[in-house]
Structure 1
Amino acid sequence: MRIAFFSDIHANLPALEAVLSDIDAQKPDFVYCLGDLVGYNIWPNEVINEIRKRRIPTIAGNYDEGIGLESDDCGCAYKTDEERAHGAVSISFTNEAVSTSSRKYLRNLPRHLSMEFQQKEEKVKLLMVHGSPRKINEYLFEDRPEKSLIRIIESAGADILLFGHTHKPYHRILSYEQNGKQAYRHAINIGSVGKPKDGDPRACYVIMDLESTCSNFFPDSVDLQFRRVSYDVEKAAQAVESSKLPNFYASALRYGK
């Protein structure tokens, strides 16, 4: 079973188009989007239209929720007054730019999606969220203590947790004891298509291959590829600079910050 997961497009149409082209070449059985379609760039409607045209199952991100509710708060954790000021411009711009149809689509997106795989007598549950199972805008960073991360995944009843929001991809395999045997859970941040923050400006998404013998007792039965896709970063950056959006967001695209 081959599944593609992507997230955090943030109105960056050139990045989304490049990723979708790469996904097509990978020939997955299923494709899912983990939210934050809008914000920080000029193509919110075009991004939404592409997702809808392809009928890609999608969950809400915190930015989608804010725009869907026509709020002036995107639920983002800005660290400085300057970042908050830039963020206020971005959400105001996006609220003005989105169409009525796009806003309705964002407002009605589900919070979570899950899949359950039956392998003989064992069930493996995969859960997709934007931030965390507990909160749409909670950040699950890679350095989170292992016990905390296991507790979050276990409380959600999941074996494989996929999420975005931080824009920094990683895969952590977490061990625990189940019926006296060593078992494993997976925490997977799928990175960002349109606004990477890990120092690599290329778009990022995940291809997951689940073996037919997928099991919580065999960590290698979940095979993961972090796909990095080059796209026309300058086109996206110059679009920001030609708009009312802060140039800060153009620089962030160029340097993956």
Structure 2
Amino acid sequence: MIRIAIFSDVHGNLPALNAVLEDMEKRGIEQKFCLGDLVDFAPWGNEVIEKIRNLNIPCLMGNHDERIAFDIPVVPLSKHSPEETEARFIAIDHSKKYITEQNKTFLSELPFHIQLNYKVGNRHWRIQLVHAGLSSNDTYWYENESDHIFTGMLEESRSDIIVMGHTHLSFKKYFETKGWAVNCGSVGRSKEENRLASYLILTMEEDRILPEIIQIAYPVEETALAIEESGIPDYYASFLKNEKSSVL
């Protein structure tokens, strides 16, 4: 049996990342992989990048990482309210100013996706890691998408399981004869009702592969206070605290 952990979308939230890594350690999981989006929306972007670097955790390039690394202009998204649109511009500009050049170089060199191959007994398990999709790190695939979206990605990547992040909403879908499509959720900016930090444990045995979504609490108030004391809009503190009246 082999167990690995996969996480995504830290978004500068160091307390959430620390909580998730500590939980992995308690469970004895040594192999860890990150699907990207280390920066934006909380004030520890540099610290998060440096922790990933120091721990040698393989990491993909998320769309936010790419934007900060290459100074890509921010464009409004139709799904966002005017309040969120304004906050988003300010928060991303904050990252562009404060992420160090060394850390921007690190982000610029991250791979777009990774495929893993683990041999358990006589079985090879192929695990496709992406931030959002095979051809784009900024495509939103939700649980209610048509099955052919996910089975197509499994077939194209020739994998037994494809693991993604980006939407900040976790899910698991199994397709008979095709395999699994899994979203591991978000460590630092969950959009789920409980706002817990989310990650994936993948257990591989010779005859089966089992994905398990883990959700844990972290000191949200610590992150919210740090946001409020930084140049990042309070919108993101209210979001983490799930203060609905402030984030509609």
1:204 aligns with 2:204: no
- On the 8 A contact 2:172/2:180 being kept in 1, the answer is yes
Match of 2:62 in 1: 61
Structure 2, unaligned runs of 5 or more: none
**1:38-187 equivalence runs, <5 A:** 38-73=39-74, 78-118=79-119, 123-175=124-176, 183-187=177-181
Partners of 1:256 and 1:162 in 2: CA distance:
30
C-alpha distance after superposition, 1:96-143 (max 9, x if no partner) = 110111100001100111112346775431110000112111111000
Quick one: which amino acid aligns to residue 146 of structure 1? D
Alpha carbons of structure 1 residues 43 and 56: separation in structure 2 relative to 1, 3 Å: same
SS of the counterpart of 1:255?
coil
Partners of 2:13 and 2:108 in 1: CA distance:
20
SS of the counterpart of 2:102?
helix
C-alpha distance after superposition, 1:128-182 (max 9, x if no partner) = 000011211111100001122211221222221001000011110012xxxxxxx
Partners of 2:200 and 2:243 in 1: CA distance:
18
Match of 1:240 in 2: 227
- On the 8 A contact 1:62/1:75 being kept in 2, the answer is no
- On the 8 A contact 1:115/1:126 being kept in 2, the answer is yes
TM-score by length of 1: 0.89
SS of the counterpart of 2:232?
coil
CA shift at 1:25, angstroms?
Answer: 0.9
Partners of 1:158 and 1:133 in 2: CA distance:
12
TM-score by length of 2: 0.92
1:226 aligns with 2:226: no
CA RMSD for the aligned pairs? 1.9
Quick one: which amino acid aligns to residue 235 of structure 2? F
Partners of 1:251 and 1:157 in 2: CA distance:
41
**Alignment: residue pair count:** 243
- On the 8 A contact 2:120/2:204 being kept in 1, the answer is no
Quick one: which amino acid aligns to residue 22 of structure 1? D
Quick one: which amino acid aligns to residue 250 of structure 1? A
C-alpha distance after superposition, 1:78-108 (max 9, x if no partner) = 4333322211111100001101111000011
Structure 1, unaligned runs of 5 or more: 176-182, 215-220
Match of 1:36 in 2: 37
Partners of 2:90 and 2:236 in 1: CA distance:
11
CA shift at 1:238, angstroms?
Answer: 1.1
Match of 1:218 in 2: none
Partners of 1:145 and 1:23 in 2: CA distance:
33
CA shift at 1:75, angstroms?
Answer: 9.2
SS of the counterpart of 1:141?
coil
Alpha carbons of structure 1 residues 207 and 120: separation in structure 2 relative to 1, 3 Å: closer
Match of 1:179 in 2: none
